[in-house]
Chain A
Amino acid sequence: AQKITQTQPGMFVQEKEAVTLDCTYDTSDPSYGLFWYKQPSSGEMIFLIYQGSYDQQNATEGRYSLNFQKARKSANLVISASQLGDSAMYFCAMREGGNNDMRFGAGTRLTVKP
């Protein structure tokens, strides 16, 4: 069963504006972690930000923040002040406490326009 859903295959944003990339998840495990990765055209996967299921506050890392709505099972990534270098594929992933594997969504391709 699909556990991570990213409904936006592609998104466009103007340089210097903020953008939100959507991610919903499904789990019955009370302990889990949510991750966002960036994949530039060169192919490497870059870890951006982490949110734990028991964290009371939304995670932030520089220009990245995570809008975590536990009851809705959503973990949207917000990128503020977009830069041309932010153009890439973005993947949401989940790791459940009882498992050691990680499941990825299908990804969202973000294009930043000058």
Chain B
Amino acid sequence: DGGITQSPKYLFRKEGQNVTLSCEQNLNHDAMYWYRQDPGQGLRLIYYSQIVNDFQKGDIAEGYSVSREKKESFPLTVTSAQKNPTAFYLCASSMRAANQPQHFGDGTRLSIL
């Protein structure tokens, strides 16, 4: 079945450690996105990518990094510079048109040890 796979489902980070969240899609979508969601809040855009080897910062990119080496994959690294990383992270993908919805993965919950 086509879809978006995020892994791991739960992740724990130690102080000063970088962690990478995986996002893979087999929908043949050009665009991919990363969002952060804090408890009881909406989604805030971290980074997005419209094509391979290109990505743009969203509203809260500081302390995060991404890469887009393959169309299917858009990993997110939460660096040690992100001082408050505890949140729910959602990856999404879509076709590049205003009338196309984003399709989401099941999310990764990141916590600090």
Q: Which residues of A contact B (CB under 8 A)?
A: 31-33, 35, 37, 42-45, 47, 50, 52, 91, 93, 95-97, 100-107
Contact = CB atoms under 8 A, between A and B. Distances in A.
26 contacts: A33-B98, A33-B100, A35-B101, A42-B106, A43-B90, A43-B106, A44-B104, A44-B106, A45-B43, A45-B90, A45-B104, A50-B99, A50-B101, A52-B99, A95-B100, A97-B98, A100-B50, A100-B96, A101-B33, A101-B58, A102-B33, A102-B94, A102-B102, A104-B42, A104-B43, A107-B41
A42 B9 CA distance: 11
Nearest to A4: B42
A103 B78 CA distance: 22
Given A104-B42, A106-B41, A107-B42, A43 B107 contact: yes
A96 B107 contact: no
The 3 closest A-B pairs by CB, nearest first: A45-B104, A97-B98, A106-B42
